[in-house]
Chain A
Amino acid sequence: MRSLVPITIDATWVAVDMASVREIGGPLTWIALPTASASLPGVAAWRGRAVAVTDLAAVLGAGERLASPAGRLRTLYMQFGASTLAVPVDSVREPLVVPDDDVRQARIRTETFCIGEVDVEGHTTLVVDLGVLLDSYRPAVAGVPY
C-alpha cells in the first residue's frame, strides 16, 4: 500500500509520498535568488531556518510560474534526507492510501521524478518524487542557523 497526498497546480494533478510531507501550511513568503534555477528559484524561512522553494509549475512545465514574494494558496513542506523543500501548490486534497498495483507506470511523463500514475477523483494524477530534484544539487551538509 502507498500513502499519497494529491495536490494541484492549476489544472495539473500530482501526488507525493505522504511520508515526505512534514507540514501543510498556508501561502508562502519567499525570496528569489538571482543565481537560482527555475525549479528551485529561491528560499523561504521555515522553523527558524532557510529552506529551498520548489516551483512545481517550472518542474512540470505547466501552469503559471511562481513570482516572488507571493506563493500559492497552500504550501507543502517536504523532507528528503537532510534537505527540506517548500512546495507552493494551489490545493491539497485528502490524503489517500492506494494498493501498489493501482500505481501504474507513468505514461504522460517520462522524467526521472515521475514514478507513476494513479487515478484520483477521476483525474490522471502523476506520482512524483521531488527528492530526485535535489540529486543534482548534492548538498554537502544540511543548512544550519547562520
Chain B
Amino acid sequence: MAADTPKPINTTSSIESSLALNQAEKSEENEFKPAYWKRWYFWLAVFLVLQILFFSFFTYYFK
C-alpha cells in the first residue's frame, strides 16, 4: 500500500485559496461576529420548539 503522507488542512493550495478571500468577505466576517450568528441559531431552535408545541396542541385539541 502506498505511504499515506499526512495532509494537514492548510496545504499551500488551500492557503492560496484562503488568501483569495476578497476584501468584502473579510470585512463582512468582521462585521458579523459569532454572537450575531448564535442569535440566529438560538431563534431557529426556539422556532422549532414553538412549532412542536403548536403541532402537539393541534394533535390533542382536534383529536
Q: Tell whether A and B belong to one assembly.
A: no
